[in-house]
Structure 1
Amino acid sequence: MELSGSKQETLTRLAVCVIAALILYSSAKPLCSALKLPLWEEYRPWLEKNRIQAIAVVSAVLFGLSLALFPLEAKPEEEPPPCEDDFQPVA
């Protein structure tokens, strides 16, 4: 199964966002614990219990930011097929 260029680029971007979210999640625990951040201490039990959801949320945020900062290229519109009997459509 081959993917078109646009779909392949989107999947690659999503994979990079998931990997970045995994790195952020794994590095957040030692860093935030050392800095004694109050939000980390408040939400740490939920983040540890719901690890997959936390990574998914961060991945979605990173993916949205990547689309906002680096939008995908728009596909050029396809030209309609030529009409028979010398009929010209009105623009």
Structure 2
Amino acid sequence: MDGVVPAEPPSATRDWAALPRDVGYEIFRRVPHVDILNRAGLVCASWRRLAVEEPMLWQHIDIAFDWEEYIGVAYDEDEVFFNSQ
């Protein structure tokens, strides 16, 4: 077969830095702000730039934070308060 180039098999890895900016923005829009700063913004330089430079991500900031979910532990606030005195 003259002139036919065999297709390359799909890569097992992805170059997250190569995602178009609008795709990255759509991903970040669905991620809590804390996770953008603590995780997604650390993936690569282009994701960090997107996290810092995209004003639409920061027009409304949700500062609610679920410590139990973050540390993976449920606790009783009354028990913590009374045992600390």
Looking at CA atoms only, which structure, 1 or 2, has the larger radius of gyration?
1
TM over 0.5: no
* Higher-RCO chain (CA-CA 8 Å, sequence separation at least 6): 1
TM-score (norm 2): 0.26
TM-score (norm 1): 0.25
